[in-house]
Structure 1
């Protein structure tokens, strides 16, 4: 029961933590080592980890009773989403490590350059890898909308959240708010548009 409650809370807590990261980032003008950098990236780390049960829940709902093709599509979205979670988790960990070992922004830049110069690090954890998080989210919410298991406006709202975040990191709070609007109702199995549970036929009396 506690596990189920925690999983449902993640639909709200995940976007909220990401929004908190975006807000801390906005007020941190230095963008260098210090309490704001650490607090913000801890919020990012918490937010992305909380999306793991969200992806699992969306994937299970999208695959439920939909045949082999539906299960394959849901599984693809789930795997991509979890790969994205892993990528952003590592990225946040690197950022926290660099912040803890730096005295100023110049030192941070030097450490980032040293780490990202290793083959595969930048695409895996800073460019391509994190994109999988958003691709998986769009696929799963889109599949639920196609199945009429959620409202049709939710996939475009997810795409809008991705777009504003990609346009500027300063708009992360806006993207997080859109994700919250989309995901918060989906924490309940009876989210809008979900087909009603089958009711047993009434018994006839003689």
Structure 2
């Protein structure tokens, strides 16, 4: 069973694993379809499930107020959009014989009205917004370090410079969440008490 503390360690670790597998998958000049494509995407889906568990625990630690509840549901909605993107990627990988076939199928899926903005463009951003708001609240309560929001913001934006930097973003999250998975704030995460 995954504990709250384990989720804060395992989620960034699985995200980092996705990033590393993605890099390895691209060494031949093409990403997907194949086992590396599928394994990497499954790692990220696992990370998302654990991140949502973490969002719920952070909301509890932040006091379950209106802002933290809104951040939880905003982040969860973003995680659902991001998860839909990765499920689409997995299905496309399974249904395609090569990268060319994948690209054709992606175009057909993304041409469906609403899919591009909700699943690819704006929907996933909600996950990062919700996570950042909760981390800011925990930093304000001194459950997380004051620089944790900066690391979380960097983790969200570093991959925009290049998706090969996803493992760097995962490392930043590991550092930001260190008090949560090392047990320094275990009581706060479980009970919602302040430090």
Normalised to the residue count of structure 2, the TM-score between the two structures is 0.89
In the alignment, the residues of structure 2 paired with residue 99 and residue 139 of structure 1 have an alpha-carbon distance, to the nearest angstrom, of: 34
1:48 and 1:85 in contact (8 A); partners too: yes
Matched residue of 2:61: which SS?
helix
Alpha-carbon distance, 1:189 to partner:
6.3
Q: Tell me, yes or no, if structure 1 residue 106 matches structure 2 residue 103.
A: no
Q: Considering only aligned residues, what root-mean-square deviation do their CA atoms show, in Å? A: 1.9
In the alignment, the residues of structure 1 paired with residue 73 and residue 57 of structure 2 have an alpha-carbon distance, to the nearest angstrom, of: 12
In the alignment, the residues of structure 1 paired with residue 59 and residue 183 of structure 2 have an alpha-carbon distance, to the nearest angstrom, of: 13
**Which residues of 2 match residues 120-199 of structure 1 at below 5 A?**
120-187=114-181, 190-191=184-185
In the alignment, the residues of structure 1 paired with residue 23 and residue 144 of structure 2 have an alpha-carbon distance, to the nearest angstrom, of: 33
Structure 2, gaps ≥5 residues long:
none
1:63 and 1:75 in contact (8 A); partners too: no
In the alignment, the residues of structure 2 paired with residue 150 and residue 26 of structure 1 have an alpha-carbon distance, to the nearest angstrom, of: 31
2:12 and 2:173 in contact (8 A); partners too: yes
Aligned partner of 1:46 in structure 2 is 46
Aligned residues: 186
In the alignment, the residues of structure 2 paired with residue 136 and residue 187 of structure 1 have an alpha-carbon distance, to the nearest angstrom, of: 20
In the alignment, the residues of structure 1 paired with residue 70 and residue 9 of structure 2 have an alpha-carbon distance, to the nearest angstrom, of: 23
In the alignment, the residues of structure 1 paired with residue 130 and residue 66 of structure 2 have an alpha-carbon distance, to the nearest angstrom, of: 13
C-alpha distance 31-106 of structure 1, shift in aligned 2 (>3 A)? same
Q: Tell me, yes or no, if structure 1 residue 9 matches structure 2 residue 6.
A: yes
In the alignment, the residues of structure 2 paired with residue 88 and residue 133 of structure 1 have an alpha-carbon distance, to the nearest angstrom, of: 8
Alpha-carbon distance, 1:163 to partner:
1.7
In the alignment, the residues of structure 2 paired with residue 183 and residue 93 of structure 1 have an alpha-carbon distance, to the nearest angstrom, of: 27
Deviations 1:91-123 (A, max 9, x none): 111100000000111100110010111111111
Q: 1:80 aligns with which of 60, 74, 83?
A: 74
Question: Runs of at least 4 residues of structure 1 off by over 3 A?
Answer: 187-190
